[in-house]
Structure 1
Amino acid sequence: MQNDKEIFDMIKGNYPQYPSENFITSTETKLRQKARRMNRNWKVKRISAISSGLLFFTLSLSWLFLFDGKETLTNVLTSNENEMLSSVVNEKDPLVFIYHTHNTETYNVKNSKKAEDTYSETKNVTLVGEELSKALKENNISNIHDNTDFLGILEEQNLSFSNAYNVSRLKLQEILNEYKSIKMVLDIHRDSQKRSYTTVNIDGKDYAKISFFVSKTTDNYEANKAFAERLHEKIEKLYPGLSKGVFEKGENPRNTYNQDLHENSLSLNIGGHENTFEEAYRTADALAEAIKEIINE
Structure 2
Amino acid sequence: MNTKVYRTRFYYVLFALFCMFIFFLGSTIVMKYFKDDVKPIADYGESVEVFSFEKHDRIDKSEILLKIISTSNSSMSAFLKGEKGIDINLYELIRKNLRDTLNIDNYIKAQFPAIFTLTDGKISTPISKDKDIKVSKDDNLDIQQLEDLIFVEDLMESEEGEFFQENEIKSENLNLEGIPVAQNIKKLEINKEKPYVLIYHTHGTEAYLPVVQNTCHTIEKKYNVLTIGDIVSESLENNGHGVVHITTYHDSPSYNGSYTRSLNTIKNAIGNDENLKVVFDIHRDGIPENASYKSKAVKQSKTVIDGKDVATFSIVIGPDSPNVDEVLKFAKYIKSVSDTLYPGLCKGIIIKPSGKFNQFVSNYYALIEIGSNLNTIEEAQESAKLVGKILSVVIDKVQE
Q: Does 1:119 align with 2:213?
A: no
TM-score (norm 1): 0.62
- Cα distance, 1:271 vs structure 2: 0.4
| 8 Å Cα contact 1:101/1:164 also seen in 2 | yes
Percent of counterpart pairs with the same letter?
A: 30
Displacement of 1:201 after TM fit? 1.1
Q: Which amino acid aligns with 2:307?
A: G
Checking the alignment, whether the CA contact within 8 Å between 1:109 and 1:117 is kept in structure 2 is no
2:391 pairs, out of 285, 291, 294, with: 291
Q: Measure, in 1, the Cα distance between the counterparts of 2:210 and 2:264.
A: 31
8 Å contact from structure 1 (residues 96, 143) kept in 2: yes
**1:269-284 correspondence runs (5 A):** 269-284=369-384
Give yes or no for contact 1:195–1:272 (8 Å, CA) kept in 2: no
Question: Is the 2:210–2:377 Cα contact (8 Å) retained in structure 1?
Answer: no
Whether the 8 Å contact between 1:96 and 1:183 is mirrored in structure 2 is: yes
Give the 3-state SS of the residue equivalent to 2:387 in structure 1. Answer: helix
Tell me which of 73, 88, 97 is aligned to 2:198: 97
Aligned pairs (5 A) from 1:1-297: 93-109=194-210, 112=212, 114=213, 116-123=214-221, 124-152=224-252, 155=253, 161-193=255-287, 195-249=298-352, 251=354, 255-297=355-397
SS at match of 2:257: helix
Contact 1:106/1:119 (8 A) holds in 2: yes
CA displacement 1:66-112 (0-9 Å, x = unmatched):
xxxxxxxxxxxxxxxxxxxxxxx88x6212111110110111137x5
Q: Which runs of 5+ in 1 are unaligned?
A: 1-88
- Distance apart, 1:162 and its partner CA: 3.1
Q: Aligned partners of 1:259 and 1:295: how far apart in 2?
A: 17
CA contact (8 A) 2:209 2:373 kept: yes
The structure that is helix-richer by fraction is: 1
CA-CA distance at 1:267 after TM superposition:
1.1
Q: Which amino acid aligns with 1:148?
A: T
Structure 2 CA distance, aligned partners of 1:167 and 1:183? 19
Letter of the 1:95 counterpart: Y
> Do 2:231 and 2:388's aligned partners in 1 also have CA atoms closer than 8 Å?
no
Contact 1:199 1:271 in 2 (8 A): yes
Deviations 1:14-46 (A, max 9, x none): xxxxxxxxxxxxxxxxxxxxxxxxxxxxxxxxx
Shift of 1:161: 2.3
**Paired residues of 2:251 and 2:257 also in contact (CA < 8 A):** no
Residues 218-247 of structure 1 show CA distances to partners (whole Å, capped at 9, x for unaligned) of: 111011000001001111111110001111
**How far apart, in 1, do the equivalents of 2:261 and 2:353 lie?**
17
Shift of 1:182: 2.1
Distance in 1 (CA, whole Å) between partners of 2:201 and 2:395 is 22
Q: Extract unaligned runs of 5+ from structure 2.
A: 1-190, 288-296
Q: Cα distance, 1:250 vs. partner?
A: 5.2
Cα distance in 1 between the residues matched to 2:359 and 2:241: 22
Q: TM-score, normalised by structure 2?
A: 0.47
**2:248 aligned counterpart, secondary structure:** coil
For 1:295 and 1:106, the matched residues in 2 are separated by 27
State how far apart, in whole Å, the 2-side matches of 1:126 and 1:250 are.
27
1:114-146 per-position Cα deviation (integer Å, ceiling 9, x unaligned): 5x0501112311000011001111111111111
SS of the counterpart of 1:161? coil
Query: How much has 1:292 moved relative to structure 2?
Result: 1.9
Aligned residues: 196
The structure number with the bigger radius of gyration is 1
The answer to whether the 8 A contact 1:109-1:273 is kept is no
Mapped partners of 2:200, 2:309: distance in 1: 25
- Taking only aligned residues, the RMSD between alpha carbons, in angstroms, comes to 1.9
